[in-house]
């Protein structure tokens, strides 16, 4: 990556842009991780009655359906925001 500060104390615009891109990507990664943990907590509380050494088929199916619903909802919301942004609305 290019140096952020130039000889005159200014900042290299390309380096600043790259840094902003990397920070944004890291923020998205952190947000995704937090969302996954939230989904796991919600689905665990909804589906697991009593923890054991193995999941029974009902619990396994409930967890899979719960996660699928969250993924579908997240994709739907993401697609809707993308449509709004493409139309220029905020």
Asked if residue 20 has pLDDT above 60, the reply is yes
- How many Cα atoms are found within 13 Å in the side-chain-facing hemisphere of 79? 6
Cα–Cα distance measured from residue 75 to residue 65, given in angstroms and rounded to the nearest whole number: 15
Q: pLDDT tens for residues 21-79? A: 999 989 989 998 898 888 889 999 999 988 889 989 999 999 999 989 988 998 999 89
Residue 5 has a pLDDT of: 53
Residue 42 has a pLDDT of: 92
Residue 10 has a pLDDT of: 66
């Amino acid at each position: 990556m290019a140096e952020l500060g130039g000889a005159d104390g200014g900042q290299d615009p390309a380096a600043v842009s790259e840094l902003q891109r990397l920070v944004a990507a890291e923020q998205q990664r952190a947000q995704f991780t937090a969302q996954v943990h939230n989904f796991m907590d919600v689905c665990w509380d909804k589906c697991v009655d009593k923890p054991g050494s193995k999941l029974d088929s009902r619990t396994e199916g409930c967890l899979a359906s719960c996660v699928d619903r969250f993924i579908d909802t997240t994709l739907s919301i993401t697609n809707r925001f993308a449509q709004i942004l493409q139309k220029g609305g905020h």
